């Protein structure tokens, strides 16, 4: 596929062709992505697919709080397939192979925040073959990305590993302070905070974390030439040391107040890569845990050791407005690189480094 942007040897004043982009789904992440496309100097909004029929027929700008765009939303998939767009930002709640293959075969590249394509080798062979055939037919490529998994589990570890000639262990700690999240249904009913602790961690939750983040660990290990033998998952709970009032309600002493899920990428009997997610509603825990503000903490034990904190300096009252951008913006910024890539499922190590184009 012809590279749509400026080549490295192009004169600085040469303007790249604007890529025609479709936004597929307009939930929390999709709405932020839509805004980013409309603001992007090198992207042109070609269409918007909405799942809810009552969202169809509206101007795209209306859905994301911007002015009129002249682009009308649609609930008709055939209409989207006929647009001849360069790329589709595919952001539904759940992945649909039929939809993705139809888009790819139509000639539209796909960037998705669904985590299906982080590591093609881990896909069901029949599904992978089907997607690859669609890419070949349309001359297109597809890439999965986001903030986590994606940026913090692939892009950042690969950059940090570029300093090493010997790697013992690379660990990604992810922290989420939920104390100011006013979502009692999510925290208490779905996630299990505020309940009496159990002796065994919820196996379904561990399976979900393994399927979401395990492919990234394996992908990074593959890129380093150190493929993993296994990805192991385990979880731990901590309770509230005393009764605490959080935004979602009351958290009684002795009930679950923090959860930590750890994925260990094992090679030759030792942990090479680790992803550690800690969600907590208070820092006053029993037993006491090392918990940090919402963000990421990465450590590299190698011949060039590194210890990095990446915090989100966002006021509590702004979190809902800011956080979707961490996932949506990386996907939007990937569009040019994915459109320029060879046909097929393209992973983070295969794509060239890409960044934001802001003006």
* pLDDT > 70 fraction of the chain, expressed in percent and rounded: 96
The angle at the Cα of 125, spanning 22 to 341, to the nearest 5 degrees, equals 40
The mean pLDDT value for 51-71 works out to 94
Q: How far apart are CA 190 and CA 205, in angstroms?
A: 10
Q: Pairing state of beta strands 141-144 and 344-345?
A: parallel
In a domain, 5, yes or no: no
Q: What pLDDT is stored for residue 15 in this prediction?
A: 63
Are 306 and 272 within 8 A, CB to CB?
Answer: no
127, pLDDT greater than 90: yes
Same structural domain, 167 and 87: no
In a domain, 192, yes or no: yes
Same structural domain, 307 and 204: yes
6, pLDDT greater than 60: no
320, pLDDT greater than 90: no
Same structural domain, 172 and 304: yes
Exposed e or buried b per residue across 72-103, where buried means at least 16 C-beta atoms within 10 angstroms of its C-beta = ebbeeeeebbebebbbbbbbbeeeeeebbbbb
Q: What pLDDT is stored for residue 175 in this prediction?
A: 96
Same structural domain, 111 and 229: no
Q: What pLDDT is stored for residue 14 in this prediction?
A: 60
Enter the tokens of residue 254. 């002795």
Q: Pairing state of beta strands 256-267 and 141-144?
A: unpaired
Q: How far apart are CA 57 and CA 240, in angstroms?
A: 49
Same structural domain, 198 and 248: yes
Q: How far apart are CA 210 and CA 119, in angstroms?
A: 13
- Domain carrying residue 197: 148-314
In a domain, 249, yes or no: yes
Same structural domain, 121 and 209: no
Same structural domain, 140 and 163: no
Quick: pLDDT tens for 188-212: 999 999 999 998 999 998 999 999 9
Q: What pLDDT is stored for residue 11 in this prediction?
A: 42
Report DSSP state, residue 74: B
13, pLDDT greater than 70: no
Quick: pLDDT tens for 20-48: 999 999 999 999 999 999 999 999 999 99
CATH number for position 113: 3.40.50.720
The mean pLDDT value for 60-73 works out to 95
Are 310 and 298 within 8 A, CB to CB?
Answer: yes
Same structural domain, 104 and 27: yes
Instruction: Say what angle helices 28-39 and 324-333 make with each other, to 10 degrees.
Output: 50
Same structural domain, 265 and 306: yes
Report the chain's mean pLDDT, rounded to a whole number.
94
Helices (H), the chain: 28-39, 60-63, 77-81, 97-105, 125-138, 156-161, 184, 203-223, 319-322, 324-333, 335-340
Q: Per 3-state DSSP, what percentage of the chain is helix, strand, and coil (rounded to 5)?
A: 35, 25, 40
Q: Pairing state of beta strands 270-280 and 285-286?
A: unpaired
Beta partners for residue 176, in sequence order: 279
Q: How confident is the model at residue 142 (pLDDT cuts 50, 70, 90)?
A: very high
Q: How confident is the model at residue 128 (pLDDT cuts 50, 70, 90)?
A: very high
In a domain, 241, yes or no: yes
Report DSSP state, residue 205: H
Same structural domain, 46 and 86: yes
Same structural domain, 112 and 196: no
Q: How confident is the model at residue 356 (pLDDT cuts 50, 70, 90)?
A: very high
In a domain, 329, yes or no: no
Q: How far apart are CA 45 and CA 327, in angstroms?
A: 19
Q: How confident is the model at residue 319 (pLDDT cuts 50, 70, 90)?
A: confident
Least confident of 67-81, 133-147, 176-190: 176-190
Count up the domains in the chain and report the number. Answer: 2
Are 23 and 37 within 8 A, CB to CB?
Answer: yes
* pLDDT > 90 fraction of the chain, expressed in percent and rounded: 89
Q: What pLDDT is stored for residue 120 in this prediction?
A: 97
49, pLDDT greater than 80: yes
Burial label, 258 (beta-carbon count in 10 A; 0-12, 13-18, 19+): buried
Same structural domain, 27 and 42: yes
In a domain, 43, yes or no: yes
- Residue 38: name the closest of 68, 16, 73 by CA: 68
């Amino acid at each position: 596929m012809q590279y749509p942007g400026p080549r490295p040897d192009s004169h600085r004043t040469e303007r790249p062709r604007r890529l025609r982009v479709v936004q597929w789904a307009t939930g929390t992440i999709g709405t932020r992505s839509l805004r980013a496309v409309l603001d992007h100097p090198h992207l042109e909004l070609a269409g918007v697919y909405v799942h809810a029929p009552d969202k169809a027929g509206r101007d795209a700008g209306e859905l994301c709080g911007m002015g009129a765009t002249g682009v009308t939303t649609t609930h008709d998939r055939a209409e989207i397939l006929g647009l001849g767009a360069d790329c589709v930002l595919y952001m539904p709640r759940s992945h649909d192979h039929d939809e993705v293959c139809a888009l790819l075969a139509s000639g539209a590249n796909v960037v998705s925040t669904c985590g299906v394509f982080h590591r093609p080798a881990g896909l069901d062979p029949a599904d992978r073959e089907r997607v690859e055939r669609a890419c070949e037919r349309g001359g297109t490529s597809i890439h999965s990305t986001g903030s986590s998994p994606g940026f913090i589990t692939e892009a950042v570890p690969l950059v940090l590993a570029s300093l090493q000639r010997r790697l013992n262990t690379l660990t990604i700690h992810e922290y989420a302070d939920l104390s100011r999240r006013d979502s009692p249904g999510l925290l208490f009913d779905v996630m299990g905070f505020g309940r009496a602790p159990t002796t065994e961690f919820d196996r379904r939750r561990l399976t979900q974390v393994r399927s979401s983040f395990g492919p990234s660990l394996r992908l990074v290990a593959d890129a380093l030439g150190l493929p993993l033998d296994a990805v192991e998952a385990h979880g731990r709970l901590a309770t509230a040391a005393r009764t605490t009032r959080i935004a979602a309600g009351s958290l009684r002493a002795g009930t679950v107040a923090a959860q930590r899920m750890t994925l260990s990428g094992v090679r030759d009997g030792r942990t090479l890569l680790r992803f550690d997610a800690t969600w907590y509603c208070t820092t006053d825990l029993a037993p006491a845990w090392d918990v940090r503000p919402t963000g990421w903490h990465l450590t590299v034990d190698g011949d060039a050791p590194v210890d990095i904190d990446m915090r989100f300096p966002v006021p509590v009252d702004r979190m809902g407005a800011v956080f979707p951008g961490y996932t949506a913006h990386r996907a939007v910024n990937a569009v040019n690189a994915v459109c320029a890539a060879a046909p097929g499922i393209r992973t983070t190590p295969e794509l060239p480094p890409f960044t934001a184009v802001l003006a």
